[in-house]
Structure 1
């Protein structure tokens, strides 16, 4: 009787370990294989910023998706996010839009519940800052933003249409992509006014002797800003994207709908002129892409960050970016594929069965 109980306990503990590994430890194992990239900089160590960037979490809402799918995807993203926070300890987290999948359709109570879920799933320590940019699934595309939907996002997520953030000597400009439509609506006009103000502050920090800079309110030193938003900047398609996580063919050659899939050329040129970024980050496509931009004398790279959700791709990604006022370096990191998790669990279960079978035969031989 004792032998049977001992074997059952071994089997039970083995199954518990397999469950814990596949649903908890595997994220730590995979996340630990990525690292912060090194940079060459004249900045002091106190000015080196470690930024964790992700996009398109698409938390399911009350209307679409099966309850188990919602539970599963949220569990995966929560475990992966917390593993990244605990292993890499970033200074700041940037989430580039489409936090929610059904934000534009929810009523006030549903949206408030959405926000509570978001902060529970993506909790950060008190000494880690987190900033979010709004996406089209959060409030709707430009012409479909319902009254009050943007205002509640701004209020509850602390995310105005234009944010100028200054961290450890580096400037970040976060934008509402839907405010870059280029028409005379209140949203777009307000965003342009904010960009003009930020552009003036940056110019005066860069050239402090200018005649127009006497009354400019600034308390920072200049460094080339980093531009962040949900949409990609202007491009006709993803045809030039050659990264392993780029869209598959023939989707890669599908033409973009300007102002829906990417910003217009006019809006991109305007941002390049006013912000003069050293690098840009965006999401929206759910795939990876590295683009080179050149507008007059302004040249910079743009990184499209793949989706962080297993609903949108089998291999979610995120970026670790080391940033100094005079340089930066990025590292794109992967999360475990769901097929890998399933296969790992199946193999470990098979090994447990083999072990128990062999132990049974050895026990019989002894007696």
Structure 2
């Protein structure tokens, strides 16, 4: 009787040890999948991305003294607030003074700022609809003041004629805004991050998909930018405006809007710039990895419960059978 109880206890111990070992393996497997899909895959995909090189002008076969290079990343349409608070309802929740003050409290409130001799202008696109809203007149007045400062910095002026504060670098600005300047559609856009073919020919609505023609022309006249970076359309596009001013619509940085989100890496000097795109992992790749892992997990559980033969054991038996034949 004592020997029977000892053997039964030993059997229970082995079963418990086996189940604990299986549980540890399952936990390790799940953690590995999560680590890969939520962390490692991003490094593997982004690893080939590099900062673009800025072409340095040369005169007489000799290279000029290198200008300081500013390296910046540009993201658009992250849509982090969710479907109700951060997407379609945003069109109804237009900015007001409270939201503007809240934004300025968290982020840099300056509309005009300079880094390493490069001027940037941030434009509140929502205030350029020209419908007489309470923030539109203030925004236009602010842009006219910025225009005066930029134009003054490009001309030889005596101290004090360009307003208060330190003088701005004599460099055409980079314009940063959410809405793109006016264009008819995305029909002329190309690339793997451009709009789907069925959407490219759909005409854009002024003051909804893009800025109005009037507002777009004002920005080009007032600011005379050398580069425009915008978002809103969720797709990539390169357009030339006026006398060859380039605009790059940055694709959405969110799987909610694209299967292949991306961001822009820029290297800039006061006179030159170079841009490159870097893509995130495809959402389909991550989902398929999770599905494959879940399927493998189910197979492992069934094998452990004895409901399905082990694939290794089954292959060994099949090979042995062929050898005997």
TM-score by length of 2: 0.76
Q: Which runs of 5+ in 1 are unaligned?
A: 66-99, 105-135
Q: Which runs of 5+ in 2 are unaligned?
A: 1-13, 58-63, 305-309, 318-325
Q: Which deviates the most, 241-250 or 39-48? A: 39-48
For the residue of structure 1 that corresponds to 2:268, the secondary structure is: strand
2:279 maps to 1:334 = yes
Instruction: Give, in angstroms, the shift of residue 185 of structure 1.
Output: 4.1
Instruction: Give, in angstroms, the shift of residue 218 of structure 1.
Output: 3.5
Structure 2 counterpart of 1:101: 87
C-alpha distance in 2, partners of 1:12/1:214? 66
**Contact 1:201/1:216 (8 A) holds in 2:** no
Pairwise mapping of residues 1-367 of structure 1 onto structure 2 (< 5 A)?
Answer: 1=14, 9-41=24-56, 47-60=68-81, 64=84, 100-101=86-87, 139-140=93-94, 145=95, 148-159=98-109, 163-209=111-157, 213=161, 215=163, 217-294=165-242, 298-347=243-292, 357=310
Instruction: Give, in angstroms, the shift of residue 157 of structure 1.
Output: 3.9
Instruction: Give, in angstroms, the shift of residue 245 of structure 1.
Output: 1.6
C-alpha distance in 1, partners of 2:196/2:312? 48
Q: 1:223-278 CA distances to partner (integer Å, 9 max, x unpaired)?
A: 11100100010111111112222111331111111111111122111111111111
Classify 1:219/1:101 alpha carbon distance in 2 versus 1 (closer, same or farther; 3 Å): same
Structure 2 counterpart of 1:122: none
C-alpha distance in 2, partners of 1:193/1:325? 26
Structure 2 counterpart of 1:120: none
For the residue of structure 2 that corresponds to 1:344, the secondary structure is: helix
The ranges of structure 1 where at least 4 consecutive aligned residues each deviate by more than 6 angstroms after the TM superposition are 43-46, 349-354, 358-364
C-alpha distance in 2, partners of 1:14/1:211? 68
Instruction: Give, in angstroms, the shift of residue 168 of structure 1.
Output: 0.9
Structure 1 counterpart of 2:322: none
C-alpha distance in 1, partners of 2:264/2:54? 15
For the residue of structure 1 that corresponds to 2:84, the secondary structure is: coil
**Contact 1:201/1:217 (8 A) holds in 2:** no
C-alpha distance in 2, partners of 1:214/1:155? 27
**Contact 1:205/1:218 (8 A) holds in 2:** no
Larger Rg: 2
Instruction: Give, in angstroms, the shift of residue 304 of structure 1.
Output: 0.6
Instruction: Give, in angstroms, the shift of residue 216 of structure 1.
Output: 5.5
**Contact 2:75/2:263 (8 A) holds in 1:** yes
**Contact 2:67/2:269 (8 A) holds in 1:** no
Classify 1:152/1:103 alpha carbon distance in 2 versus 1 (closer, same or farther; 3 Å): farther
Q: Which deviates the most, 232-241 or 243-252? A: 243-252
TM-score by length of 1: 0.68
